[in-house]
Structure 1
C-alpha cells in the first residue's frame, strides 16, 4: 500500500486538491452535515463501565445472578445524622418525605422508619402478623422515645440497614424499578425529581440529607462526564489556539486552524453517533484529543506554506509543495498516532475497543481535513503579510535550537550518562508502583455525592454491593437447617472483615422469625434448633402470602439464596486479598463440595476483576503499539539497527514516567496506564520527522553524516518544539478535570511528551553520531520503502493553475 505514496502520487494528489477545490469543499460540507445528523444517535452511558468481555467467566457469573435475583444496583439511600431529627415535627416530615416517593412510577418500593413492622406471633391463625412500629403519625416525644428503645435495643434484624444504633444515623431505602435502572428514566427521576424534593425538604427542616446508592452515583458521575466534555473542548480550543497565535502572530492562520479542528470535532461526534456508541469517561476524551492532535498538523502545514512563500513568492507553487512534501510526512505521523490508539481494538474489553476505534478513525479524519482544508482556503486568500512571516526568524527559537545542537556536538557523554542515570532511577521507581482501582477512586473528590459516599461508608460500612450466591442444587434446599447454619457461618466471616458491612440474607429473617415466635425477646434472635425449626418455619410459610418473608433473598424454587453485603472503597490489591480469603473460608464451610455451588459476585467484584483485566490488556496494547510501530519503521528503513535507534528515545520517556509514578505514589489503574499507549503513539511522530529529514540531508550532503545530523536537527527542531509545546499544554487541559483519573492522564501524558521531545532532540541525534559507522550508511538509508519527504527537485515541479 505504502508503495503508492511516492513523489508522483503526492503530485497527483496536489493537482486534484488544488484544481477541484470547490467540489472538495462541497463534499466536506456535505460530510459534516451527514456527521452532524448522526449526533441524534449519540447517548451517554447509563451504567458504570464494564471492562470485562461479555463471555468472561466473571461476567457470566454476574449475569447468572441477575437472571435469578434481578438487577442488584437499584437501591438509592437517603441518610440523616442529626439529633434534632428525633422531634415530632422533623421525624414526621422525614417519614412523609419517604412516603411521597412511593407515588412515583419509577419507584418499586420504599423502606423507611415508617414502614418498619414487627413480626408478631398469632397462635389463632398459626402465622406471623405484621404490626407497624409507627401507626399513622407521631404525636408526642414519648412515642419517639419508645420507638428508639424498640428499634435500637430490641430488634437487631433492622440494625445497620435503616439505622446505626451507635451514632443514631437514620436512612431510607428507595428501590427503583429494575427495568429503568439502566435507562434515561433513571436520570430524569434523580436529576428532576429526587434532587428537587430533597432540596425542598432540607430548606423546610434545616436537616442535611445525604444521598447515595449505585443509581445515584452513576447518574451524577455520568452528568459530570457530560459537563466536562464542553469544558475540555473549550479549554483545548482556547489553549492550543492561543499558543498557535503566539507562534504565528496571525489571526488568519489561527482562525483557519480552528475551523479545521472544529470540523474534526463535529466528525468525531458523528462517528460516535454513526457507530451507536455510548459516551463514556474514555470516549469523552476523544473530541479534545482531536483538537490537541489536529493543531500540530496545522502547524506543520501552515509553517511549510509560509516558509515556501517567503522562499520564492509563488503562492500556488507553495501550496503544491505543502501537499507533496508535508502530506506524506503528516500521513505517516498520523498513521503512527492512530496505530497507538488502534491497538486498543485488539483487546477484549468493549470499553477499550470503542475508544480505540473512534480515536483512530478521528485521527485519520483530522489528517484528511487538514490536508484538504488548509491548502484550499489559502488559495482564496491573499499572500501572507510580512508580519505573518516574522516568526520564521525568531531569535529565541534559534537560540533554543543552537543550544540543542551545541549539547549534541559537545556533551554526548553527558547526555548518555544522564539517560543511564534516569533509566536506573526509573527502574527503581517502577518497583514501587502499585496496581489499584475501585469503583469510586477516580470520582470527583469535591463533589457532594462523593462526600456522601464517604459518609455512608463511615456510618454503614460501604455502598458497593458484594453478593454471595448459594446454589443448593435441589429445590427448597435453602430452608434446610444445615444450609442455614452454613450460611450463618459465612455471615460471621463477613462480619469479621472490617471492610464489609453486616450481611443481609434469609438467615436474618429466620432468626427474626424465632425472635417473633418467642414474643419479640431479643435473646432469641438466633437460628432455631432442629426441634424448633419445623413449627417456626410452619408459621413463616403460613405468613408468606401476606408477609412474603423470603422476597429478594431466596428464589421462587427455594434452590438459590443470596447473602448481600456492602464493601468500602478499598484498593484492588486489598479487595483481591479479601476475596481470596473469603473464598477459601467459604469452601471449608460448604462441605461436601459436590452438594453446594457457592459463587461470589456483585458490582464491587466485577469492577475489581475488570481493573485487573484492563491493566493486563493495556500492557498488551502497549506492547502491540511498540511492535506495530517497529514493523512500520522496519518497512520504512529496512534496518533492524534503525528500529533500535528509533525506539530508544521513545521508550525512555515511558520508563521515566513509570518511574515517576512509583516515586509519586500514582498507582497503575485504567486511567493511568492509558498514558503509555497514547504518549508512545504521539511521540514517535517526532522520530519519524527527524529520521526522514536526516535521510534527505544525507543524500543532499553526499552522505556526510555529521553535517546531515545537524542540518536535520536545525530543520526539524523548531517544528518539534512547536508541536511538543502545543501537545504539552493541550494535555495539561485535562488536569482541570474533577476526575482523578483524567487529571493523572493529562499530567502524565504532558510530562511524557516533554521527555520525548528532549529525548528526540538530544538522545536520537547523539546515537546517530555515535553509531554512524554501523547505521548511517548508504545501504541502510539510500532506498527506504517509504519516501516520507520527497527529494528536492525544483525543475520537475509543475505549477498548478489555481
Structure 2
C-alpha cells in the first residue's frame, strides 16, 4: 500500500502540474514579483557579525561598556611616513584636507598635526588652556622644523596618537559620529567623500597616505562582499551552464536550467529581504549556492525526460513520468541537503541561524521550481530530436564506470587499506588544526586597505581596539590618585606586550596636566603627587570637559573608566595567551572587592565568538548526522543500512579535517560550515545508490553481487555528473578575495570529490563484504518510500492513466 500511495501521490502531483500549467506559471511570476519587492528590505552589514547570543556574559559586558562610552571603534586614521609633509606647501595642503574632512557631519572632530593644541599654564589668572601648537596659520620652513622636533621630543601626550614612537610617521585621527558609525552614512562618507579627497591629495603632492581604522576597514570589507555577490552569481552561472552544455550539448536545455536557477536566485534575495536579514559574508554565499545545488536537479529531470523520449517518444507520458519517477529522488536529496543547512538554525548564533534559515528555505524552493518549471516549459516545446539525445549514448563515461566496477570486483582489500590509511593519516592531521578568531584574517590581502592595516601595525602596533573596562564601584572613584596609579601600573604591563599598542586613558591627561604645570618640561610627564593633585586635577577636569577628552575615557559619574589599547592581527592562541597574562595582573592590581575590571571590545568578542562557533559546529554536525540518519532510517527501515551508509560519508569529512590540519587551514567562522554542508550534499549519493541497490535486489532475486554491480553502473554516471557540477560549482568560491570563502569553496569541493569516490568504491565494497548480514529480506524491509520507482509501477501508471 505504501508503494502504491507513493506512486499514486507523485502521479497525482504530475497531473496537477501538467493540467494547471498556466495557473502555476502565473503563481511563479506573481511570487517572483512579490519577493522582488522585498529586495529593498535587504540590509548590508556595517559592523562585524555578533557570533554569540545576545545574553552571553561576554556580550552583556560589551553592551554595558557601549552604554557608558558608545561605539569604541569610531576612529579613521590617516597615516603619512614622509618628512616632506613638514614643508610649507604640503603642510598647508594637509591642513586644508583635515579642515575639509572635519566639516562633514559624519566627523565629530579631527586630531591632526595641523590643528594640534598643547596645554599651557597661565598665571593671571591661574589656569590651563589649550593653545595652538603652531600659532602661525601659514608657518615657514623654520617654524615647521621646530614644531616637528618639538612634537617628537616634547609632547609625549600625543605618542601613538599623532606620531609613532618607532619612526617619524605621523597620523591624523578622524573621530566618526558614534550615532552614524554603523550606518549607511558612514559608507557614503568613506567611499564618496573621504577616498576621493585622499586620492586627489596623493596625486597632487606625491605623498602616500595610508588610511585605516575599524570604520574604514568595515566599509571597504562590506563593499567587497557586495561586489563579490554579483561576481559569484555570474561565475556560478557561467561554470554550471558550460558543464551542463558539455553534458547535454543542448542550448535549449541549458537555457531552461539557467532560467530555473535564476528565478531561484531572485527568490533567495526576496527571502532575505522578507525576513529583514543582513547581507553578511555568509548570506552572500546563498544565491550562488542555490545555482550550484539547483543545477543537479535540472540534470536529473532533463536527463530522465530525454531518456523517456528516447524509450517511447510520447512527450505527454515522458513529462508525467519525469515528475512521478524522479520526484521522490529529487525531494529526498534536496531534503537531506536542506537538513545539513537547517541544523544551523538550532544553534545559538544569530549569524548561523539566519544563514541556515535562508539556505534551507531556498533549497526546498529551488526543488519546487525545478519540478514545476522544467516539465511545464518542455510541454510547450517540441520533443527533443536525435541530436539532443546523442549524449545518452556516449561511451566516454564507460571507461570510468568500468574502472569503478573493476576496483570493487577485484581490489576491495586495496580499497579498505587505502580507506584505513587515509583515516589514520587524517586523524593525525586533525590534531594539528588550529582555531582562528581573527577579524582581519579572511579579508582580501592584496587590497590597499589591507596593506594599510599592516602599515599601522608596524608603525602604531595595531588598529583593532581592545578595551579594559573599569568599574570603581563609587562615584568619582576614577579620579582618585590611587585609582590612577593602579591604571598606570596596568598600562605599563600592557605596553610590554608586543602585540598591543601604548594604551590611551585618563592617566595621559593627568600626566599632561603635570607637565604643563612645570612649563611643558617633558620629564614631568607623570602622574601628580597627592599634594600636586589638589591643584592640577580640577583644572584638567574642567579643561577636558570642554574638549571631550574626559568623556571619552571616564563616564559622567566618574565611576567608570576605560583603558584603550590597539592590538595587532593576532589569532585565537595569541589572544588567549594575552588574556592569561593580563587577567592575573588585573586581579592583582585591582582588588575584586573594590573594583570590577573586564576585558572587552569588538576584536575580543570576535575571538570569543569563534570559540563559541566551534562548539556549535560539533553540535550542528551531530544534529545533521542524526537528522539525516533518521530520514534514512525512515526511508530504508534498516538500522544496519544506516551504519553502512554513514561510513562512506563520515570518512570524507575526516579526510577534509586532516587536510585542513596539514595545510594549516584553521577552524574559523567561514570554514566551520564545510562539514555540515558537505555531509548534507554527499549523503544524496548514498541515498541514490542504496535506493537503486535495493531495487536491483528485488529484480535479481536478492543476488548480492549482481545487484551491487547493476546499481553501480546505473547510478555511477548520474553521481559522476552531479559531483562534477558540484565540484566546479563550489570551486567558484575560490575566486573570492576573502580567504575564508576561498577555503570554504576549496574544502567543500574536495570533500564532495572524496564523497563521490567513497560512495562509488567503499560503499559497494562494504555491501559485498557484509552481504550475509546486510542484504537479506529481513534486514531490508519494505521501505516507507520508494526513492526510485520500480518498473512494475509503469504498468500501474498506464492502467491508472486509462482509468482517468
Q: Which residue of 2 is the match for residue 137 of structure 1?
A: 137
| Residue 288 (structure 1) shift | 0.3
- Summarize the alignment of residues 69-148 of structure 1 with structure 2, pairs less than 5 Å apart: 69-148=69-148
Q: Provide the secondary structure at the position in 2 that maps to 1:225.
A: helix
The 1:548–1:104 alpha-carbon spacing in structure 2 relative to 1, beyond 3 Å, is: closer
Aligned length: 800
Contact 1:637 1:780 in 2 (8 A): no
Aligned to 2:494: 494
CA separation in 2, counterparts of 1:169 and 1:638? 71
Counterparts of 1:629 and 1:60, CA distance in 2: 36
Counterpart in 2 of 1:668?
A: 667
1:440 positional shift:
0.6
Q: Any conservation in 2 of the 1:653–1:752 contact (CA below 8 Å)?
A: yes
Aligned residues of 1:133 and 1:147 also touching (Cα < 8 A): yes
Map of 1:187 onto structure 2:
187
Q: 1:726 maps to which residue?
A: 725
2:662 corresponds to 1:647 = no
Deviation at 1:136, TM superposition (A): 4.0
**1:612 to 1:438, Cα distance in 2 relative to 1, 3 A:** same
**CA drift at 1:551:** 2.9
Q: Where do 1:311-326 residues align within 5 Å?
A: 311-326=311-326
- With normalisation by structure 2, the TM-score equals 0.98
Q: Equivalences for 1:597-616 in 2 at 5 Å?
A: 597-616=596-615
- 1:587 aligns with 587
| Counterparts in 2 of 1:549 and 1:731: CA distance versus 1, 3 Å | closer
2:360 counterpart residue number: 360
1:549 to partner: Cα distance: 4.8
Aligned to 2:484: 484
Q: In structure 2, do the counterparts of structure 1 residues 546 and 331 end up closer, same or farther at CA, with 3 Å as the change threshold?
A: closer
| Aligned counterparts of 1:138 and 1:453: Cα–Cα separation in 2 | 32
SS of the residue 1:627 aligns to: helix
CA contact (8 A) 2:638 2:781 kept: no
Kindly provide the CA deviation profile for residues 55-109 of structure 1, in whole angstroms up to 9, marking residues without a partner as x: 1111111110010011111111111111211211111111221111111111111
- Aligned residue for 2:566? 566
Q: Which residue number in structure 1 is paired with residue 162 of structure 2?
A: 162
CA distance, structure 1, for counterparts of residue 542 and residue 753 of structure 2? 73
After TM superposition, list the pairs within 5 Å mapping 1:202-601 onto structure 2. Answer: 202-541=202-541, 543-544=543-544, 546-547=546-547, 549-591=549-591, 593-601=592-600
How far apart are the structure 2 equivalents of 1:650 and 1:763? 10
Distance 1:434 1:545 in 2: 46
Distance (whole Å) between structure 1 residues aligned to residue 648 and residue 7 of structure 2:
29
**Cα separation, partners in 2 of 1:543 and 1:448, compared to 1, 3 Å:** closer
Moved over 3 A (4+): 2-5, 541-549, 798-802
* C-alpha contact (below 8 Å) 2:166/2:459 kept by paired residues: no
Where 1:672 maps in the other structure, the secondary structure is: coil
Which residue pairs with 2:27 in the alignment? Answer: 27
In 2, Cα distance between the equivalents of 1:157 and 1:279?
Answer: 41
Tell me how far apart the structure 1 counterparts of residues 801 and 359 of structure 2 sit (CA, whole Å): 35
Deviations 1:532-569 (A, max 9, x none): 22122233245455555523111111101110000000
Q: How does 1:727-742 map to 2 (within 5 A)?
A: 727-742=726-741
Preserved CA contact (<8 Å) 2:437 2:609: no
The offset of 1:121, in angstroms, is: 1.5
Return the alpha-carbon distance in structure 2 between the equivalents of residues 653 and 556 of structure 1: 58
Give, in whole Å, the separation in 1 of the partners of 2:149 and 2:29.
Answer: 73
1:105/1:543 Cα in 2 relative to 1: closer, same or farther (>3 Å)? closer
Structure 2: distance between partners of 1:460 and 1:638: 64
Q: Deviations over 1:721-765 (max 9, x none)?
A: 000000000011110000000000011111000000000000001
Name the SS of the counterpart of 1:719 in structure 2.
Answer: helix
Equivalent-residue separation in structure 2 for 1:432 and 1:311 (angstroms): 54
**Which whole-Å CA distance do the structure 1 matches of 2:644 and 2:46 have between them?**
47
**Using the alignment, how far apart are the partners of 1:465 and 1:5 within structure 2?**
63
Query: Which whole-Å CA distance do the structure 1 matches of 2:775 and 2:317 have between them?
Result: 33
Contact 2:94 2:114 in 1 (8 A): no
Structure 1 residues 470-496: Cα deviation after superposition (integer angstroms, max 9, x where no partner): 111101111111101100011001001
Q: How far did residue 796 of structure 1 move?
A: 1.5
Alpha-carbon distance in structure 2 between the residues aligned to 1:467 and 1:164: 21
Contact 1:127 1:543 in 2 (8 A): no
Distance in 2, matches of 1:206 and 1:521, equals: 36
CA deviations on 1:587-615 (whole Å, 9 max, x unpaired) are: 01112x21101111011111111111111
- Structure 1, unmatched stretches of 5+, are none
Post-superposition shift, 1:127? Answer: 2.2
Is the partner of 2:551 in helix, strand or coil? coil
Q: Partners in 2 of 1:542 and 1:21 — Cα distance?
A: 78
Pairwise CA RMSD of aligned residues? 1.5
TM-score relative to the length of structure 1:
0.98
Task: Say which SS state the counterpart of residue 520 (structure 2) adopts.
Answer: coil
Where does the alignment leave 5 or more consecutive residues of structure 2 unmatched?
A: none
**1:635-687 C-alpha deviation (Å, 9 max, x unpaired):** 22222211110000000101111111111111111111211111000000000
